């Protein structure tokens, strides 16, 4: 069976508020790793259907100090990126350079259970 429930925007926002607030931390980490301040970001593009939620848009605007662009469809943004990457990999587009990076530090466990980093996060691979 399916669950059909009507809830108000206020109720939905109260249900997801903690999750939305936690999603700001990866933005903070990404900026720290890049060595830049949120004020240096020119444009903010939200990706995914849930980014249409006013609470998400407000939290992002509060963090970055500017509203996200409204001219990019959040449902189509990932598909557009995938299409561009596919075209580059297929050789149809030659004037774009795609770089793969390691999102995490990779290492090995050494004496005493200590991890020794071999490849630092954000290293081009």
pLDDT tens digit string along 96-113?
888 888 889 999 999 889
- Measure the CA–CA gap between 58 and 100, rounded to whole angstroms: 31
pLDDT given for residue 122 in this prediction: 86
pLDDT digits (tens, 9 = 90+) for 32-81: 988 999 999 999 999 987 899 999 999 999 999 999 999 989 888 889 88
Q: C-alpha 5: how far from its chain's center?
A: 30
Q: Which residue has the tokens 């903690």?
A: 18
Q: Is the pTM of this model over 0.85?
A: no
Percent of the chain residues past pLDDT 70, beyond the cut = 100
pLDDT given for residue 21 in this prediction: 93
Contact 33, 122 (CB under 8 A): yes
pLDDT given for residue 99 in this prediction: 86
Residue 88 has pLDDT above 90, yes or no: yes
Q: Give me the torsion for CA of 39, 45, 48, 51, rounded to 10°.
A: 60
Residues 6+ apart with CB under 8 A from 90: none
Domains and CATH numbers, the chain: 9-94 (3.30.420), 99-125 (no CATH)
Q: Categorize the per-residue pLDDT at 4 as very low, low, confident or very high, splitting at 50, 70 and 90.
A: very high
């Amino acid at each position: 069976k399916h669950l059909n429930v009507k809830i108000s925007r206020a109720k939905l926002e109260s249900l997801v508020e903690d999750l939305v607030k936690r999603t700001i931390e990866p933005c903070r980490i990404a900026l720290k790793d890049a060595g830049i301040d949120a004020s240096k970001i020119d444009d903010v593009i939200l990706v995914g259907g849930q980014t249409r939620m006013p609470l998400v848009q407000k939290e992002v605007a509060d963090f970055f100090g500017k509203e996200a662009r409204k001219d990019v469809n959040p449902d189509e943004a990932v598909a557009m990126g995938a299409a561009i990457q596919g075209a580059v990999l297929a050789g149809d587009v030659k004037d774009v350079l795609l770089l793969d990076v390691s999102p995490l530090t990779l290492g090995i466990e050494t004496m005493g259970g200590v991890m020794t980093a071999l490849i630092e996060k954000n290293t081009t691979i």
